[in-house]
Amino acid sequence: MKVLILAGGLGTRLAEETEVRPKPMVDIGGRPIIWHIMKTYAHYGHREFLVALGYKGEDIKRFFLDYRVVTSSFSVSLSDGKVAMLDSEAEDWDVELVETGMDTETGGRVKRFASRLGDETFMMTYGDGVSNVNVNELLAFHRSHDKLATVTAVRPPSRFGGLVFDGDRVVEFVEKPQIGEGWINGGYFVLEPGVHDYIDGDDIIFEREPMERLAADGQLMAFRHDAFWQPMDTLREVRLLRQMWAEDRAPWKVWRS
């Protein structure tokens, strides 16, 4: 199944990083966060990606154009310029990178892919957050009903660290545990082509009118995921993700290598 990744936003809340690169290219453990997101989907067998570009989209294009060379060993014949790959870590992915406009909103970016997706069910997520959601269980849930849209509902991370007690003694401090109140939109959608009818143009924010109308029409279902989910909206969250990866305790790393 094709996976649409919205990767065109300005990332203004992360200006220290996004002044020089688009948000999906912020580095976590030597790879941009968009790579981590794609690895999750690929682990579950979904390797066809559509990437909606906007702000600094050329950086994302360059990453994928150079991916095989950068991640592999190779030899170069300086006399004729021939390159021989010695080994390769290239992923078995098909990636379609599409310019969707600098100022296009999230709904408009989704709408831009209507003709490319045709009558196919598709997955969609954002290029700036990671999770250990089982996307095949999500897909099975979506197929169990006949509605147009499924959103993954998540518990927001707590704003503060959590304390684990033994009586009155603190035995553990947990950095930003997943104990936030209520449920919020965590991305990781499964959508039917009919959702495009709820989007009128480039200036439509998907999370507002389209989702509100889908809900009002009884066409929006929630797949509850109460395990790990983490957005990357602040420098503190960037540092948290980098630390988790460096310490080999990244819950979103569901793949083996």
Q: What pLDDT is attached to residue 177?
A: 56
In the chain, the amino acid numbered 198 is: Y
Burial of 20 (0-12, 13-18, 19+ CB in 10 A): exposed
pLDDT tens for residues 196-221? Answer: 999 999 999 999 999 999 999 999 99
Q: Considering the chain, what is the average pLDDT of its residues?
A: 89
**What number of other Cβ atoms are within 10 A of residue 224's Cβ?**
11
- Residue 255, pLDDT > 70, answer yes
Topology at the third CATH level for domain 2-246: Spore Coat Polysaccharide Biosynthesis Protein SpsA; Chain A (3.90.550)
pLDDT digit string (tens) for 37-80?
Answer: 999 999 999 999 999 999 999 999 999 998 888 887 889 999 99
- Euclidean distance between CA atoms 253 and 243, whole angstroms: 14
Q: What percentage of the chain carries pLDDT values higher than 90?
A: 70
**What's the pTM value of the predicted model, to 2 decimals?**
0.87
Q: Please give the Cα distance from 175 to 157 (Å, whole number).
A: 10
The pLDDT value recorded for residue 201 is 92
Q: What angle do CA 241, 133, 45 make, to 5 degrees?
A: 105
Query: What is the C-alpha to C-alpha distance for residues 113 and 206, in angstroms, rounded to an integer?
Result: 14
Beta carbons within 8 Å of 113's beta carbon, 6+ residues apart: 4, 50, 52, 98, 122
179 pLDDT more than 80: no
> 214 with 148: CB under 8 angstroms?
yes
Average pLDDT of span 182-186: 87
Q: Average of pLDDT values for 20-27?
A: 90
Structure tokens at 157: 């991370």
> How high is the pLDDT of residue 245?
96
